[in-house]
Structure 1
Amino acid sequence: MCEYCGCRTVPAVRELMEEHDAIIEDAGDVRTALLSGDRAATVARLEHLASHLDPHVHREEVGIFAALRAQGDWSEEVAELEGEHRDLDGAIAQLDPTDPSFGTRVLAFLESLEEHVERENLGIFPVSVVTLGASGWDTVAEAHRETPTFLTT
């Protein structure tokens, strides 16, 4: 996680990055369960991770992504990140614990998720901090009101 750009000084971005931190921690829990050989625990940890991903993705897409797209900035990058969201959602939905390739597929999913989070943290979040205007931040705030964070205070 970077700290150089000041993203975490912007409350909405800080909250999304803190969600990323929790999601990466969830991913570590999945990996630990998988490597221990406990498929039931792996599935339970994956379900927990998915319960965090769904609202987080919604907040990003309806908030920062929509705001950047509305002002005409970074549309290609936003579209790529949204595509990655769909790919990650599809990958987790297709995981079958009875499939012999389950472990390999889980590890591939986790790697893709970690790369995606890094791309957002080091790319679109810093971009949003320096490019979004007041109406963009209003869009982000509305998305955050509409779908509260999964983090507990």
Structure 2
Amino acid sequence: MADVVDLIMADHREVERLFDVLQNEPDKRALTLPELSALFVAHSRAEEAEVYPVARSEAAEADEVAHSQEEHAQAEELLAQLKATDPNDPSFETKLNEFVEAVQHHVDEEESQVLPGLRDRLDEARREELGKAFAASREKHIGEQPGQETKQELLVQARNAGIEGAGGMSKEELTQALKSQ
């Protein structure tokens, strides 16, 4: 099984490839956007469930994880707006560019801050174990759409973001707390 850092970076490269198609081949947008959405959501959920808790506790990356969790929430909201826009609508291009910028910023930070911490602080066996868990979680979440998180997934996101008192919140309150960060 592959190292979790390698798996995450491979997903990042695939997202960038899909961005290129969306930006440069407008006739392929209708088919490419669902593929991008499925990968992005599954990747995010797998990071949130498997990687971020370990990065917080074992790799001393609490601040970076909280920030990454916030960026996931923002990007997912932008993705939902993009998906709600007809690819032929003139506003699609603007929404696509906002989403691409948000995700690219997240990828740049994650690859320069969080992932090096995982490589430095976790041994190879632990990174491979985490890679297996990440891949299984990603597979489980393929096909989910933005905004379809369960309450348990929202609780994990809230913990990753350092939100106090999340355990006593309803699903709606958790969603609002994550959005208002």
**Shorter chain as normaliser: what TM range?**
0.7 to 0.9
State the TM-score, normalizing by the size of structure 1. 0.75
CA contact (8 A) 1:59 1:147 kept: yes
Taking a change above 3 Å as real, the CA distance of residues 49 and 71 of structure 1, as seen in their structure-2 partners, is same
Instruction: Give the corresponding residue for 2:112.
Output: 122
2:134 is aligned, of 114, 129, 143, to: 143
The CA deviation at 1:70 is 2.6
Equivalence for 1:52 = 39
Please give the alpha-carbon distance, in whole angstroms, between the structure 2 residues aligned to 1:136 and 1:76. 21
Task: Give the CA RMSD over aligned residues.
Answer: 2.6
Distance 1:78 1:136, change over 3 A: farther
- 1:57 alignment partner, SS class: helix
Q: Which residue of 2 aligns with 1:86?
A: 73
The residue that corresponds to 1:30 in the other structure is 22
Give how far 1:114 is off.
1.5
- Rounded to whole Å, the distance in 2 between the matches of 1:128 and 1:140 is 11
Q: CA deviation at 1:57?
A: 1.1
1:103 to partner: Cα distance: 1.4
Amino acid across the alignment from 1:85: H
CA distance in 1, matches of 2:14, 2:130: 24
Aligned to 1:132: 122
How far apart, CA to CA, are the structure 1 residues paired with 2:92 and 2:51? 34
In structure 2, what is the Cα distance between the partners aligned to 1:80 and 1:90?
A: 16
SS in 2 for 1:73: coil
Task: Note if contact 1:68-1:136 (Cα within 8 Å) is conserved in structure 2.
Answer: no
TM-score relative to the length of structure 2: 0.64
Cα distance between partner residues in 1 of 2:12 and 2:38: 13
Q: Distance in 1 between matches of 2:59 and 2:10?
A: 27
Change (3 A) 1:146 1:52: closer
Q: Secondary structure at the match of 2:60?
A: coil
Displacement of 1:119 in angstroms is: 1.4
Residues of 2 paired with 1:116 and 1:67: CA distance?
A: 18
In the comparison of the two structures, how many residue pairs are matched?
136
Distance 2:130 2:4 in 1: 11
Listed as ranges, the gaps of 5+ residues in structure 2 are: 143-181
CA distance in 1: counterparts of 2:41 and 2:55, whole angstroms: 20
Aligned residues of 2:55 and 2:114 also touching (Cα < 8 A): no
